[in-house]
Structure 1
Amino acid sequence: MDRRTRVLVIAVVVAFIAFLDGAVINIALPAIEADLGGGLSLQQWAVDAYLLTLGSLILLAGSLSDSFGRLRILRIGLVGFGVTSIACAIATDGTVLVIARALQGAAGALLVPSSLALIIATFPTAEQGRAIGRWTAWTTSAFLVGPIVGGVLVDLASWRLVFAINVLPIAVALAMMHPLGRDEPNAGRARVDWLGAVLGVVGLGGTVFALIEQGRLGWADPLVFVPALIGVVALVAFVLWERRAPAPMLPLTLFRARNFAAGNLATWFVYAAFALGLFALPIFLQQVGGFPATLAGLATLPPTAMLVILGSWFGRLGGKFGPRFFMAVGPIVVAAGYLLTLLIDVPVEYWWQVFPGMLVVGLGMAMTVAPLTSAILGAVDPSRAGIGSAVNNAVARIAGLVSVASIGVIVAGELDVDGYHRVAVVTAGLLVVGGIVSWIGIRNPAPAGHPSASADTANSADRPRS
């Protein structure tokens, strides 16, 4: 196996590990709660502890990869992910699981940016697009097989295997990396924004803690409003620091590009909705509908399958006609799909209460995702595409983190039929807002040869989108 092929396979396996973990956890949540207790709060924390450290550290991880070497950071991330996966698998109570999940998210933050950076560093410019396309295609399959694998493991063995199984692909990746040797730290590396990372973690941690625990303690409890206040202050301090930091973790100048700013705002609403809807439905189907974990996983498969099948086609259409229409209409189609699931009642009849809505959700997701990504990355200079992608990834993860943390407020403490209906309505509302933001904020790139195209080229804040 030549070096480039080896690097691509390693990058796929590494990202697959991180994505698979995110895809299987929702299916295992009812079994985890049944074994460890903790109710809806534990289920929220099992997801959000991971997303909290992953979302807040992923930008820092990109800087560490650039500064200290891709292979070094990748190895640290893999070993850390393996150790914390075992810690999750042997957790004896909810507190241990949540702590292990937070550490697992921190390790996971090192994986995806480093795997993509390794591809960029290994492949010549002319071959990078094809390599990244193959990386995307293979890693997307994690979202297809994840719910099924998770359901089978939960039904036939134990939820603990959902975490323990990570050790096998990690061992394969580490063995394949051995012939690549070691890379040296970058002597000209920029300073790492440690203060920004700390402020980001404290800010998100405080607000998410308050959102989750208010359902149990109430907003007036000092254990809720004090973390909330600290979180808000830290987030404000984070933005102020990033404006003046010599090497900011989040370069705010990127948001001068209209499509980048509007696209990330749309990402916030759209991905908050994606996370909220796909968190609530598998739990509801198992705990209220009585579905086994495997069937609950299969029930939520149509959206991912349609995204894989139709995503590239809508991506080409977005490239031909511009992303604005698809980014505006796609989320509204997803919203219509979730409104169709308001037909859900007890007993749950999957084929006419759930399946039609999931098909419509999948169609809308396929319309949305590729044009949205293209619009955002096309709005920044190609030399900054890496950090632009990392920012958008972080926005999507943090939006999901906040929406899952807010579910207790939405369902008023219990995810029953009425609670799920409220989730579906809120999810649809977020999606409609995302579509409106896209219609108002996104601009299609000027056609080649159009006078505005050359003018835009000269302006890095609003360059032609590809």
Structure 2
Amino acid sequence: MDKTFQDSRRGLPTRLIVLFAICCSSAVMPLTFTGPAVAIPAISRTLGGDPVALNWVTNAFMLTFGSTLMAFGALADFFGRKRIYVLGLVAFTVFSAALAFAPNIIVLDCLRALQGLGAAAAFSAGMASLAQEFEGTAQMRAFSVVGASFGVGLAFGPIASGAMIDALGWPSIFGLVVALALLALSIGIPFLRETRNPDAAGLDWMGAITFTLALTLFTYGVLRGPAIGWSDLTVAGPLIGSALLMIGFYFVERSTKHPMLDLTLFRYPRFVGVQLLAAAPAYAFVVLLVLLPVRFVGIEGMNEIAAGQLMMALSGPLLVLPIAAGVLTRWLAPATVCSGGLLVSAAGLFWLSQTPVGSSPSVLTIPLLMIGVGISLPWGLMDGLAVSVVPKERAGMATGIFSTTRVAGEGVALAIVTAVLSALTKSHLPSALGPSSAEIAQRLVTGDLAGAQTLVPPGTSIGLVLDYSDAFSSLLWILTVITLITATVVLVSLRNVTSDPDNALGEEDVEISSI
């Protein structure tokens, strides 16, 4: 805890105003990737672009956001949390406004990457500032409220974006983001106070560079692989380079006096279990926030409003159930609540796999609701568990690693799942299509059904929608199995963790911490 906080406690009203500002800026983040997901078909019609460029509309933001969270957290500790928060939010606002005027898909993708950098600075510095305003159980409740604000953004993002796209066009979705960011700035500037860590050593530049480059090369290779083949040098090269950079990152962090990532935290088995729990929503929930709107609008022909309304069944439970999860821990262990929620999500994923493309919204609503309900239970406990499974003095670093695992994992999962769906779609297409099957599959995955149909030879009768539907069902089968495995591992690895942060470490963890 900073000395500045120990010396001066501010009144509760002021701290609640700061909490509201952080919640506003936090709610913007999910809007920033759910909105463009709904808009991808409309963006494609306006700006064009090949499937890889369209995939980067989502991946560029998630990549820069996830890969720089720890770096900006270190900069906030060193230069001042309020300063980095304000600078990040200003940059985020400027780039968000510029996105509405992007002249082509390449400029849009570049602005999305810059938008992700601003979001990472604002989010990491904002959370660090919030940690200086509250302590103990009040701090855990404050972080839970911020988590709930994420749920608000996720729940209303698709429907709000769909309505705005339908009425005003896709550039309007960035106006909503700008408005919320300006609100957060207007509150944060007068009420946030400057704090910094007097012992901070600045940024671990080598760690930040190797980590960010590794994720960038990996995402680039995975997105290009389905289109041109995994053996192509422009695909295999970046993937090999990514692996080498991750190895380099490991050795950099081991040898640096003040590392960006404290590898010794991974001595705690329960900390490793929490990282797996952090990654679970990525492939059981977040990827669907991107893939399903593309399917509903681009393949099934829904309008954006109808797609947004249907997505409410998936994301709506996040408005209420994360808080209910905390209540359940009075009677059930956190591991039981989390693994039980993942089991419900797995059941929903399996059910959804049995609903082909073209099914009525009434048929899709129940499995989507099950997935949302299931993922909401661990969602409400993850942030608290991230802090509780390590000693208190290491809670800051643990939170940073947890946030990076969650957000960077979402970007990586989206790239991998998109590539898998493309490969599955290609495998379901008839071999008579030859080399064009790869591009057809890519266009279907990005919701460009009309473009895919133009690549089918004249006079050839092929059910592209049926082939895509079969591939989507196969993907959901894979996600079901992964979620079931995760539920089992979480139950075993976190079985003795309690909801009391003072008694969260198990005996084996205490023994390890004394090494």
- Listed one character per residue, the Cα deviations across residues 176-199 of structure 1 (whole Å, up to 9, x for unaligned) are 344348737655422311111100
Per the alignment, residue 433 of structure 1 pairs with 485
Q: How many residues align?
A: 459
State the one-letter code of the partner of 1:391.
I
Which residue, 392, 408, 413 being the options, matches 1:382?
392
Per-residue deviation at 1:379?
Answer: 0.4
Q: Is the 8 A contact 1:28 1:154 kept in 2?
A: yes
Partner of 2:124: 113
* CA distance, structure 2, for counterparts of residue 89 and residue 220 of structure 1: 37
Displacement of 1:330: 2.2
Deviation digits for residues 384-408 of structure 1 (CA, Å, limit 9, x no counterpart) = 2232122112112222212221213
Which of 13, 38, 41 is residue 30 of structure 1 equivalent to? 41
Name the CA shift for 1:293/1:378 in 2 (closer, same or farther; >3 Å): same
Is the 8 Å Cα contact of residues 72 and 182 (structure 1) preserved in structure 2? no
Q: What is the 5 A alignment of 1:378-417?
A: 378-406=388-416, 407-412=418-423, 413=441, 414-415=444-445, 416-417=468-469
1:376-430 Cα shifts (integer Å, max 9, x gaps): 3210122322321221121122222122212133332333312321221222122
Which SS does the other structure have where 1:291 is aligned? coil
Pairs within 5 Å for 1:278-317: 278-317=289-328
Match of 1:348 among 359, 362, 368: 359
Aligned residues of 2:317 and 2:372 also touching (Cα < 8 A)? yes
Query: Cα deviation per residue 1:115-158 (whole Å; 9 max; x = unaligned)?
Result: 12222223465743443343333343111221111111111111
Displacement of 1:54 after TM fit? 0.8
Give the 3-state SS of the residue equivalent to 2:230 in structure 1.
coil
| Structure 1 residues 251 and 427: alpha-carbon distance in aligned structure 2, compared to 1, 3 A threshold | same
- Structure 2 contact 18–192 (Cα < 8 Å) conserved: no
**1:222-276: CA deviation from partner (whole Å, max 9, x where unpaired):** 2211111111111111122112221111111111111111221243344233222
Change (3 A) 1:13 1:270: closer
Q: Which residue does 1:445 correspond to in 2?
A: 497
Residues 27/437 of structure 1: CA separation in 2 closer, same or farther (3 Å cut): same
User: In 2, are the aligned partners of 1:207 and 1:231 still within 8 Å (CA)?
Assistant: yes
1:424 counterpart residue number: 476
Q: Is the 8 A contact 1:319 1:371 kept in 2?
A: no
The structure 2 residue matched to 1:134, chosen from 145, 165, 172, is 145
Mapped to 1, the partners of 2:505 and 2:132 lie a distance apart of: 31
Rounded Cα–Cα distance in structure 1 between residues aligned with 2:146 and 2:226: 41
Residue 417 of structure 1 aligns with an amino acid whose one-letter code is S
Q: Cα–Cα, structure 1 residues 388 and 185, in superposed 2: closer, same or farther, change >3 Å? A: closer
Tell me the secondary structure at the aligned position of residue 321 of structure 1.
coil
8 Å contact from structure 2 (residues 322, 379) kept in 1: yes
For residues 454 and 402 of structure 1, do their structure 2 counterparts lie closer, same or farther at Cα, with a shift above 3 Å needed?
closer
Q: Secondary structure at the match of 2:23?
A: helix
- Distance in 1 (CA, whole Å) between partners of 2:155 and 2:129 is 25
- The secondary structure found in structure 1 opposite 2:380 is helix
CA 453–277 in structure 1, closer or farther in 2 if over 3 Å, else same: closer
CA distance in 2, matches of 1:43, 1:71: 35
3-state SS of paired residue (1:121): helix
> Contact conserved, 2:222 with 2:415, CA < 8 A, in 1?
yes
| Unaligned 5+ runs, structure 2 | 1-10, 424-440, 446-467
2:186 is matched with 175
How many angstroms does 1:454 deviate by?
A: 8.9
Q: For residues 49-68 of structure 1, what are the alpha-carbon distances to aligned partners after superposition, in whole Å with 9 as ceiling and x for unaligned?
A: 11111111001111111111
Secondary structure of 1:169 counterpart: helix
CA distance in 1 between partners of 2:349 and 2:137 (Å): 41
In structure 1, C-alpha distance between the alignment counterparts of 2:188 and 2:338, rounded to whole Å? 39
Report the Cα distance in structure 1 between the residues aligned to 2:504 and 2:389, rounded to whole angstroms. Answer: 15
